[in-house]
Structure formats: structure tokens, C-alpha cells
Structure 1
Amino acid sequence: MFQGSIVAIVTPFKDGKVDEDAFRRLIEFQIENGTSAIVPCGTTGESATLNVEEHNRVIDITIEAVNKRVPVIAGTGGNSTMEAVELTAHAKRAGADASLQVTPYYNKPTQEGLYRHYKTIAEAVSLPMILYNVPGRTSVNLLPETVARLAEFPEVVAIKEASGNLAQMAEIVELVGDRITLLSGDDNVTLPLLALGGKGVISVAANIAPKDTAGLIKAWETGDIPGAQALFYKLLPLCKAMFYETNPIPVKTALAMMGMIEEEFRLPLCPMAPANREKLKKALESYGLI
């Protein structure tokens, strides 16, 4: 259920508020172009700057707009376990198909603390859960041994791996087999991760190139390895461009250049530096997006 090209969708703003109309249009753009599932309120959705009311509203809009055409994986993680439980409970009531749970950031829990964090959420809210390991943002690495312990819970169905460590990803597959699904958390390692046994990607680049991102996964699934390679290398410069500055600054700037959203961020995120903005524009022009 949770595989393929999954978009970590941006949260568009207008005049300081969530731009609900633009957000609905982005959802339609994704579904029309073959995206397998949608993740609202992830890192790319600037969840850290949304208040609780906005967070819940963005999830509600996604579920309503998607209308069961593809799964909705609600980003409901936090560095407070109780807050994560509350956000996840709301997502379940609203009709989400799963939650995405980032490792608690800033407070740097031990592996035992991580295990208890996820265990508490799983026992409190019976909803499929995708673990999210992104040590570059959280300062803590969810180790394969801890993933294997968590795989014993029926609620834990997948992991979004954004450590950048392919050896670690291989070890997860070795330890858990097909009990949970391995998903790439970085567009630029999607193809290597598929070769390790992964089943898809939770993608930033899919915000602007959903058809090609979906096509890459589909080609791999159908055994068209040369086709998957060709799309991977076509997408690679775009994937790199999405990280000229901190995500989601480049992808939101790109969507604004494409005329799909306003170019608006919430502090502490801010507009791109002029030099990086020009590099991004050239990447989009080269790809044919503008």
C-alpha cells in the first residue's frame, strides 16, 4: 500500500496563512501525474512552523481533496511523544491512511528512548506508521537494530530512510526482510535503494516533476532497468537543485517560478540567495519546467 512515488508535499502560504486553494491544486497536479501517495506536514511541508490548528487543517484538506484516490500519510511526528500521539489521533479521526513519524529532534533520545517513543504512539493510536530517520536534521540516528525491534509492532509498516547511508539501509533489509517496507528519503539515492530491496521514495523532487519520479519507480517495478536508470539520471540534476539551500526553500521557489504557488516562507526560512536562485532557474529551464 505504501510504495511507489510518494510526494512530501509543500504547504503553500499566502499573506501569512495557508493557501488552501493553491494546496488543493497541488494535490490534483500530483494525482494527475501518477503519484502513489501524499504526505502532508512533513519536513517539506514546513511542519515545524505550523501551529497545531494549521497542522490539523492541512491534514484535513489533504484527506478531503484526495478523497481516497491515493493513500494519505499524515506527518504527525514531534519531539514530544504526547504531542505526536495527539496529532496522530487527529489524523486517524480525520481518515488518514497512515502517519509519518520523524525521530524526535533536538532532545537527542537514546535508542531505548526512540523505541519507547514509537512504542507509545503505536499503542496509543492504531494506525499504520512509517518511521522517518533523518539524522542530518534531528541529530539522532535510528539504528537498524532498533528498527528491527519496532518491526514487531503491527502498526509499523515502513521506514523512510534519509540517513544517506546505503550500508545502513541494506542492514535494515537484512534484519527485517519484508516485514516492513524500505522507502528512500533522499531523491538522489532512490535507484540504489531500489536495488537494495526498497519499494519507493518519499520525494521532494516529485513536487515539481511528479510524472518522471513516478515513472522511475514504475520502470523499476516492471523490470525496465535501463528505463529506470535513464529517468534517475535525468532527474538527478533537479534533485541536486532541490538542495542548493535548505529544503523546502528551493522546491517552493521552483513551484513559484512554475506559477503554481506564491513564493512565501515562514521564518526562520527565507527567500533564496540571488546566486542560488539563478542556478535553480537554470536547472528548471534545462529540465523544461519553465
Structure 2
Amino acid sequence: MWHGVYPAVTTQFAEDLSLDLPACQRVQTALVDDGVDGLVLLGTVGENNSLLPDEKRAVLRTAVEALRGRTVLVTGVSELSTDRAVQFAQDAEKIGVDALMVLPAMVYVPKPEELYAHFKAIAEATSLPIMLYNNPPAYRVTIDLDTLERLAPLKNIVAVKESAPDPRRFTDIINRLGDRYKLLAGLDDVALEGLLLGASGWISGLTSAFPRESVELVRAVDRGDWEQARRIYRWFMPLLHLDAEHDLVQSIKLAEQIMGRGSERVRMPRLPLSGQRRAEVTAMVEKCAATQPTLKA
């Protein structure tokens, strides 16, 4: 666990925007068939907070039924309050997922003491391994180093998904806490920098559109083939920048649709890309598709 490529999987909707569980299963299975190392379900790209509680649990059951034993299944825990997060974590464990990706409570911006208490309560309520998700641009909360150090005695908090745009965070965490936490690169357009600086894996949005290239990039890093890794990264970078934009979900789902891997349908308040932005993203995806790098066997 916590090594390689973990796509942040999209949640698929029917034309009436109801949850399309067979389509979710097809997207999940196709990514595993293409060699990814695990799946992150119900994250930002999975539109966690656009789903009803029963729908979230249905997505997890669908994935477990289709893929248990084939890959690692991680679910996002993204709730408005700590008690709801605790309940969801416990339900996810009963359903059979392998690990949790825990976010700060949504909407409210906590003080460090509150952030610590939120994560501690969830960790003590489950036996599953937990990865904390640090994404200050999206969620207005930084999991500071003092909080990470306070949480260190909680043995099932084992990893951090680092999505701060400053890759110096990887070195700062390692210098402060050594190998206490596995680190995973969580922002696509600084992923290679994170892997160079000590991340053991990459939780990726654009992998949903180009999984084989993503897998090869990390494999190249693992074998020390930096020339190959840089070549793929430079080819991929125009699309990877999309992961840092506020419309990342729509852009990733459009890319997925263009590549024949899913639908661009999103739930409001999001709307599918339109106009000039849609044309720009479409052109970027089509260019990447036309210039895909040669992958090593």
C-alpha cells in the first residue's frame, strides 16, 4: 500500500444525473486493468460532497464487489462534522475498503487544536489505515507540522497526501518526522518533484484519462530512469496543470470522455465545461492523445 499510482476515480452519472453504478464499475475496472496500483474513491474528483450518504456507500459497495483482492481501495472521508466522518469511516470499514483518505471537516476552517481533535476522533473509531489529505488551496486548511507530530502516536495514521503547491513541504515533513509517514504526491503538476523528494506514490487526477502513461512515469522513477520520467512528464504537463484549477473535476471528466473512458456529466453546482474553456481543454487532450509517448514493455 501507498506505492505507485492511485488515480482519483471519477463518479459516473446517468443522463438524469442519478448515480450510474454500472458505469462507475466500468471506470474502476478499466483503470485496474491498465495497471494502476490502487484506487482512491470519493475524493475531490469523485465529487464526494455532491453525493447523498447512501450514494457514497453504494459507490464503495460497487467497488468492493468488483475489485476486492485485485487492488487497494481507498475512500475519501469528507464530511461536514466529525461525528458524520466517524460514522462514514466505520461504515466504509464494514463495507470492506482497505484504507481511508481523511480530510478536514468541510466548510469550517479549524484551529490546530480542532484539526487535531477531528483526525484523532476518526483514527480512534476505526482500525483501517489512514492517509491525511493536505490541500490548502482547495480546503483552506494546512495540516501543519506540529499537528502531524501530535498525531504521530496514532499508529493507524500512516500516510499524508500532499497537495500543497510548494514541493518543499515534502522535505520539511521528512526533516521533522523522518519516515513516520508515507508521503504521496497529490497535485499532478508537481508530482515528479514530489517523487524525487521522497514521495512513495502519486494520487493522480489525470491518470483517469491516461493511466498507462501515469503508471510508466512512476515505474521509470522506481528504476531510476529519469530521462524517461522527464519525457513523459513534459508530454503530460499541459494536462497536469488542469489538476490545479478550480474546474479540475469537469476538465478531468471531459478528458476521460474524450479518451473513451467515462462521461463528463457532473452534478451541480458544477457544470460541464463550455465555450472557450471547453475548446482549450479538448485541444489539450487531443494533442496529448496524438503524441502519446512510447512506453517500455
TM-score normalised over the length of structure 1: 0.95
- Kindly provide the CA deviation profile for residues 227-256 of structure 1, in whole angstroms up to 9, marking residues without a partner as x: 111111121112124556512011111222
Q: In structure 2, what is the equivalent of residue 7 of structure 1?
A: 7
Partner-residue secondary structure (3-state), 2:101:
strand
Report if aligned partners of 1:105, 1:140 keep a CA contact under 8 Å in 2. no
How far apart are residue 87 of structure 1 and its match?
0.7
Residue identity matched to 1:267: M
How far apart are residue 77 of structure 1 and its match?
2.6
- Kindly provide the CA deviation profile for residues 30-75 of structure 1, in whole angstroms up to 9, marking residues without a partner as x: 1111111101110000001101000111111111111211100011
Report if aligned partners of 1:204, 1:251 keep a CA contact under 8 Å in 2. yes
Q: In structure 2, what is the equivalent of residue 131 of structure 1?
A: 132
Aligned runs of 1:97-136 on 2, under 5 Å?
Answer: 97-136=98-137
Matched, 1:17 2:15: no
Partner-residue secondary structure (3-state), 2:5:
strand
Partner-residue secondary structure (3-state), 1:34:
coil
Residue identity matched to 1:163: A
Q: Distance in 2 between matches of 1:168 and 1:194?
A: 12
- Kindly provide the CA deviation profile for residues 88-118 of structure 1, in whole angstroms up to 9, marking residues without a partner as x: 1011011111001112232111111111111
Report if aligned partners of 2:189, 2:243 keep a CA contact under 8 Å in 1. no
How far apart are residue 263 of structure 1 and its match?
2.9
Q: In structure 2, what is the equivalent of residue 228 of structure 1?
A: 229
Residue identity matched to 1:213: S
Q: Unaligned 5+ residue runs, structure 1?
A: none
Aligned runs of 1:43-192 on 2, under 5 Å?
Answer: 43-192=44-193
Q: Distance in 1 between matches of 2:180 and 2:56?
A: 30
Partner-residue secondary structure (3-state), 1:131:
strand
Q: In structure 1, what is the equivalent of residue 43 of structure 2?
A: 42
Q: Distance in 2 between matches of 1:6 and 1:54?
A: 22
Residue identity matched to 1:204: G
Aligned Cα RMSD in Å? 1.6
Partner-residue secondary structure (3-state), 1:17:
coil
Residue identity matched to 1:93: K
Aligned runs of 1:206-221 on 2, under 5 Å?
Answer: 206-221=207-222
How far apart are residue 289 of structure 1 and its match?
6.6
Report if aligned partners of 1:11, 1:41 keep a CA contact under 8 Å in 2. yes
Q: Distance in 1 between matches of 2:44 and 2:290?
A: 23
Q: Distance in 2 between matches of 1:176 and 1:89?
A: 28
Among the aligned pairs, what percent are the same residue? 31
Q: Distance in 2 between matches of 1:289 and 1:63?
A: 35
Residue identity matched to 1:100: M
Report if aligned partners of 2:209, 2:261 keep a CA contact under 8 Å in 1. no
How far apart are residue 141 of structure 1 and its match?
0.9
Distance of aligned partners of 1:69 and 1:115 in 2 relative to their CA distance in 1, 3 Å threshold: same
Q: In structure 2, what is the equivalent of residue 205 of structure 1?
A: 206
Partner-residue secondary structure (3-state), 1:251:
helix
- Please list every run of at least 4 consecutive aligned residues from structure 1 whose deviation after the TM superposition is greater than 3 angstroms: 241-245
Q: In structure 1, what is the equivalent of residue 261 of structure 2?
A: 260
Question: When the two structures are aligned, how many residues end up with a matched partner?
Answer: 290
Q: In structure 2, what is the equivalent of residue 30 of structure 1?
A: 31
TM-score normalised over the length of structure 2: 0.93
